[in-house]
Amino acid sequence: MAQYSEQLDGIFQALADPTRRAVLGRLGKGPASISELAKPFDMALPSFMKHIHLLEESGWIQTRKEGRVRTCALQKKPFAAVETWLTEQRSLWEGRTDRLELFVTTLQKKEESE
């Protein structure tokens, strides 16, 4: 469970930055080179590469080098981990709100009958 939590920490940390979210959004359209990904951002390439490395370390992307061009592509595994976590959270909170609704309804019926 601790390893799962650490994995999610890295996944969500990567999503915490708007630059990294924009890169992931662009990669949703298909693989792209580092230079293509960096073009819309007003930052030096070494700074942009820090974002790429964090995305790669957290599992969101995979890079491969062909000649002088490094290409990035999305990976599916983080999406599955986030979906699993969100499903668990949804189930937990739906159960809590269902119990709250039952409590309030029971309380209202009790007050009406008095």
Residue 40's domain spans which residues?
1-75
Tens-digit pLDDT profile for residues 53-93: 999 999 999 999 999 999 999 999 888 888 888 888 888 88
* Residue 57: count of CB within 10 angstroms of its CB: 12
Quick one: 26 and 3 in the same domain?
Answer: yes
- Reduced to 3 states (helix: H, G, I; strand: E, B; else coil), residue 88 is helix
Taking 80 as the threshold, does the pLDDT of residue 104 lie above it? yes
Total domains in the fold of the chain: 2
DSSP single-letter state for residue 43: S
Statement to judge: residues 13 and 60 lie in one domain:
yes
